[in-house]
Structure 1
């Protein structure tokens, strides 16, 4: 663009000075001609006086050729103007072409970004502001409360898709192409606010296929609203213990969910720097999309690994999922997540809640009640969820039970790493569902339609 301006300025300057250059009389241009040639001419070439040379020999005269000079200058200026005009025309066409090409490429890039995110950048999305969280790597959108209220039909009960420990989860329909879920939290006290802030800070920096994607949040008085990607099948807790009582979850789908959760935890434990302890792994923290792929959510209690005493962090968690060493000594490591994962695995296997206050004292804790039967192959099939009973290979059942038993060992050092757990379960999941098992019947037929 700067070159174009420079050439344009040169062309204008040349055009303005052209008449002045043509009319101006240049300095004398002299040529030497013999005297006898000058005398032979009928008319003098120049009106200027003839000067004789000082040399005593042949006399020379100095002649100025004005007409030839003017013609040459005119031709040179015409050629220069033509060249400048051609260059300007070429650069103008090239600049217009580049603008059009850049505009088209930007449009294509925008479409690719929308497709990658799975979102449609409709006029509604223009309202979202981008918020940079200090020195954090990612960014998150701030939603208007009125926008969320309209998308959830004023948070009507008909839009409730799940009920968690910390609040209700609503289906939000912004337009035909943009669906999401909104978790509404009534934060009372600074502790609740810290959990929300903690979850936002973690999720804008964690990107993994088995960890929920945070689209944004909203602060409205004491209410905090978190907006996540759409998860059509709600939480694992709702699927197992809700009205459907696990009927939509086949044996292979349950193992697929376990593998997905293990992959998410492996990312937190092995690939994050520093390693992250989720600290709140439970069935209500596991969300399921339309294909029953599982994603970890609820990062309000997540911390970096290495916190081991009660003085460093307040004890918290959900009854039935909390590791014994954390309750007794305040020790918190990645093995605490492994224990909670083992409890979830038992939930998938038996269809029971981890803790039941209404049951007799000896059977209130699922782990305490099930442990003797999990290690007895003759009794194990009797405690399996009736929905999936007799639908699996017994060898696979025994292997899953053995993995669960190792995960819920009271002593943390006896528990396996989540990576070892993952490698033990992948061979039991069909290839069609993300594992390595080859089955004669297509496992894809086991995928029911979304529950909502």
Structure 2
């Protein structure tokens, strides 16, 4: 049996059920954004756990004080929901008027959690690490090959590499940089995590598929 058996390409048509929720529904599934349901936060917003139709989901509420920077949210969501690949996070819903995205919940957290052995979890075996690295590469190849405009992640890091119940890679937050005005990508307004950035991006503030690689 080969060490890694990974599909290199995948059709963008995923036939996944996608639903536009009301804000009252979002509040209900997260118990009014209770701290007990909060999974964490990042540069883009806060993440909550919820239950929808007996399915556990992760609800990301984009930061309210960043609303003036977000543009064409609904059109971007229409693109996200039609992107299907086994190593990209599944988007199952959205609430466009409040800039909210709903993902399928990943039970094994992020790659960052396992690399730092959060909650005393055991280190990942080598073959699992190797497979995850290969899966990330395949997912990036898929995003970069989309036409006519490839999707650049622009903030790929262990925290954005989620793991399902089988420790299979699911990349999250892909394409978020496309929601930001391009003039924000200046030397004084770099987007992403400094420690994970392409050195050339730090120098010229221009990102491309090569920056992801």
TM range (shorter): 0.7 to 0.9
Contact 1:203 1:213 in 2 (8 A): no
Aligned positions of 1:122-271 closer than 5 A: 140-176=18-54, 178-194=55-71, 196=73, 200-219=77-96, 223-241=98-116, 243-244=118-119, 247=122, 249-271=124-146
Contact 1:212 1:229 in 2 (8 A): yes
Instruction: Please state which structure has a larger fraction of its residues in helix.
Output: 1
Partner secondary structure for residue 194 of structure 1: coil
Aligned positions of 1:419-430 closer than 5 A: none
Aligned CA distance change for structure 1 residues 192 and 323 (closer, same or farther; 3 Å): same
Q: Which runs of 5+ in 2 are unaligned?
A: 1-14
RMSD over equivalenced CA pairs, Å: 2.9
Partner secondary structure for residue 165 of structure 1: coil
Give structure 1 regions of 4+ aligned residues with deviation exceeding 6 angstroms: none
Partner of 2:8: none
For residues 284 and 254 of structure 1, what CA distance do their matches in structure 2 show?
15
Partner of 1:52: none
Residues 1:334 and 2:209 aligned together = yes
Q: Which runs of 5+ in 1 are unaligned?
A: 1-115, 120-139, 304-309, 339-452
Higher relative contact order (CA 8 A, sep 6+): 2
TM-score (norm 2): 0.76
Instruction: Please state which structure has a larger fraction of its residues in strand.
Output: 2
Partner secondary structure for residue 287 of structure 1: strand
Report deviation, 1:323: 1.0
TM-score (norm 1): 0.38
Which digits, 9 at most, give the CA deviation of each residue in 1:103-156, with x for residues without a partner?
Answer: xxxxxxxxxxxxx74x7xxxxxxxxxxxxxxxxxxxx52211221222122222
Partner of 1:393: none
Contact 1:162 1:238 in 2 (8 A): no
Equivalent residue in structure 2 for 1:301, among 155, 177, 195: 177
Partner secondary structure for residue 195 of structure 2: coil
